[in-house]
Amino acid sequence: MNFNHIRLVVKREYLQRVRVPGFIIGTVLGVFGIVALAFLPTFLNLLDNQSATRVAVVDPRNIIFPYLPVQTSPTPTPAPSSQQNVPSISTGLNFSKADTEDQTVLSQRITDGKLDAYVVVNGDNADNATYTFHAKDRPGTTTSTQLTALLSGASIQAKLAALGISPAQAQTLFTPPQLRIEPIVGGTLKDEKTYFQSVALVYVLLILLYVTILMYGIQVAMGVVEEKSSRIMEILVTAVRPLDLLLGKVLGVGLAGLTQYGLWVVAGLVVLLFSGSGGSTGGTGLDVASVPAGTLFAFLIFFVLGYLLFAALYAGLGSLVSRSEDVNSVTGPLTIVMVGVYLVSIYALGNPDAEFVRWLSFIPFFTPMLMFIRVALSNPALWEVVLSIVLLAAGALFLTWIAAKIYRVGVLMYGKRPSFREVARLLRTT
C-alpha cells in the first residue's frame, strides 16, 4: 500500500465533492432543516398565542365562569386546524367575563374584530345550565372539542362546589392511582423510558445508515464509472495501484459524507444548547443525553465499517460497467440486498434476542445494522461484538481488494465483461 497515493486520492475525492455547489447547498439546507425542526414547536406555540380565540362569557350568576381557566395554556394541536387561513378559530381559548349582557353589543364587537366569540350561560345553577356558543363561523373540531372539555370540567367543578366539596378535595378525586414497575428478585429491568428512546434512536440511526450507504455507495460507483468513461483510468493504473485508488476513493467519499453529517450534528447540538432542555428537540421525544455513550460509540463504528463494506461492493460493481447510465442497473441487486437487510433489522428492532438475529449479526452484510441493534437494545457478550467487528472489517478490506481486481481487469474492457482468463492472469502478475 502506498499511503501517499491513498492520501492524494482521498484529498482529491474529498475536495472534488465538498466544493461542488450541490453539496454545499444540500448541507446548508440540511442545517436549516434541523434548525427549523427544532424551533417548530416553539414557533407553533407563538402562533397559537397570537391567534387564541377570545371568548366572552355571559354568565351574570357566575355559575361557571369562576371554574373556567382565564387563559388556557396554548396546547400544540395537530396541524389542519392550526393553519393560518382560519386563525380566529384555531387553538387556545381565551375566556373573559362579558361586561355586558347585550348580545347586540357583543356581536358588534365580533364584527369589529375585538372579540372572536361569546358564550351565553342560561339557567339558575350548574345542574340546569345550558350553554350557547355564538360566533361568525362554526368552530373547528379542535376548538369545539376543547370548548366542550373545558365547559364540562367547569360544570363538574361547579356541581362539586355546590355539593360542598372544596377545589382541593376535587383535585384528589381526579388524581389517577400510581403504578410502579419493579424487577423480579435478582433481576434488572431496563429503564422503560430509556428503552423506548433507544428503540426510537436506533430506528433513526438505522435509517441514517441505510440512506448513507445508498447515497454515498452510489457516489462511489459513479466515481469509478466516471474514471472509466473519461478514460483517465488508463493513466491512473500506470501510476497507482488500483487497491490504493479504490481505498482512497471510498475514504474520500466517506469523509465528504461525514463532513456533511458532522455539520448537521453540530447544528443540532447548537440548537439543543439554545433551546435549553434537550427534551423537546424536533418533537421526536428523543433525549440524546439519555442515550448511553456506548450505544453512540457502537453506532460510529458500525456506521463507518458498514459504509466501507458496502462502498467497496459499489466500487466493484461500478468497475463492471463503463457508462454512467449503467450504474443503476448494475447496482440494482445490491439495493435489493440492502432492502432485505433493512427489513430484517426492522424485525430485529422488536426482537433483538431472536436466535437468527444473533447468527445473522455475524455476517458482514448484516453486522452494521443487526449487531448495532443488539448492542443498543440487548446485551451481547463482548466477544460477540468484537468478533463481528473483526469480521466486518476483514470483509470490507477483502471486498475492496476484489473490487480493485475487477477495476484493474476492467480498465480496457470497455463494454465487455472481463473474462476469467484475464482475471486469472492479472491475479498472477500483480
Partner 1 sequence: MAIDKTNNTGLVLKGVRKEFQKIVAVDDLSFVVPRGSMFGLLGANGAGKTTTLRMILNILSPDAGTITWNGQPAVKVDRSNFGYLPEERGLYTRMKVGDELVFLSGLYGIPGAEANRRAHEWLEKLGLGDAWNRKVEELSKGNQQKVQVLAAILHEPDLMLMDEPFSGLDPINTEVLRDTLFQRQAEGRTIVFSSHRLEQVEEICDHVAMIHRGRLLMSGLLSDLKQRSGRKMVELAFMPADGQPPNLGTFMESLAPLHLLVHEQRADSVRFEMTDGVKPDQLLAQAIKYGPTDVRRFELAEPSLQEIFISAVQAADPQAVEQLAQEGTLPGAKVLTEG
Q: Per rule CB under 8 A, is residue 236 in the interface with partner 1? A: yes
Of residues 238, 277, 289, 415, which one binds partner 1 by CB under 8 A?
Answer: 238
Helix axes 367-377, 192-229, angle to 10 degrees: 160
Residue 327 engages partner 1 in binding (rule: CB under 8 A): no
Q: Which is nearer to partner 1, 171 or 419 (CB)?
A: 419
Among 24, 189, 207, 239, binds partner 1 (CB under 8 A): 239
Q: Which residues in 16-55 contact partner 1 (CB under 8 A)?
A: 16
The answer to whether 353 and 359 have CB atoms below 8 angstroms apart is no
What is the Cα gyration radius of the chain?
32
Q: Indicate the pairing of strand 130-135 with strand 117-122.
A: antiparallel
Distance in Å, CB of 253 to partner 1, minimum: 15
Task: Choose, by CB under 8 A, the member of 183, 230, 273, 383 that binds partner 1.
Answer: 230
Per-residue cell: 289: 443525553
* Cell, residue 365: 452484510
Q: Give the residue from 364, 15, 407, 365 showing the smallest Cα distance to 246.
A: 407
Which one of residues 35, 105, 237, 354 is an interface residue with partner 1 (CB under 8 A)? 237
Q: How near is the Cβ of 411 to partner 1 at its closest, in Å?
A: 6
CA 164 to chain centre: 51
Q: Looking at 5, 249, 374, 405, which residue binds partner 1 (CB under 8 A)?
A: 5
Q: How many CB atoms lie within 10 A of CB 342?
A: 16
Q: How many residues bind partner 1 (CB under 8 A)?
A: 25
Q: How far is the CB of 20 from partner 1 (least distance, A)?
A: 8
All cell numbers assigned to 110: 365580533
Region of 184-192, 230-238, 268-276, 305-313 interacting with partner 1 (CB under 8 A): 230-238
At residue 96, φ and ψ (nearest 5 deg) are -140, 150
* Contact pattern from residue 133 through residue 162 relative to partner 1, giving x for each residue in contact according to CB under 8 A and a dash for the rest: ------------------------------
Task: Quote the Cα angle for 255-323-224, to 5°.
Answer: 25
Candidates 138, 231, 323, 417: give the one binding partner 1 (CB under 8 A): 231
Cell of 93: 381559548
* Residues 352-411 within binding reach of partner 1 (CB under 8 A): 411
Q: What is the largest CA-CA distance in the chain?
A: 103
96-to-26, 109, 115, 123 alpha-carbon distances in Å: 49, 14, 10, 19
Stretch that binds partner 1, among 109-117, 235-243, 289-297, 325-333 (CB under 8 A): 235-243
- C-beta contacts of 342-345 below 8 A and 24+ residues apart: 342/206, 342/210, 342/369, 344/369, 344/370, 345/206, 345/369, 345/370, 345/373
Among the residue ranges 10-18, 133-141, 320-328, 369-377, the one whose residues contact partner 1 (CB under 8 A)? 10-18
C-beta closer to partner 1: residue 92 or 418: 418
Task: Compute the distance between CA of residue 430 and CA of residue 413 in angstroms, rounded to an integer.
Answer: 18
The stretch among 102-110, 275-283, 299-307, 421-429 that binds partner 1 (CB under 8 A) is: 421-429
Nearer to partner 1, 11 or 136 (CB): 11
**Is the Cβ–Cβ distance between 119 and 134 less than 8 Å?**
yes
- Residues of this chain that interact with partner 1 (CB under 8 A) are 4-5, 8, 12, 15-16, 226-227, 230-240, 411-412, 419, 425-426, 429
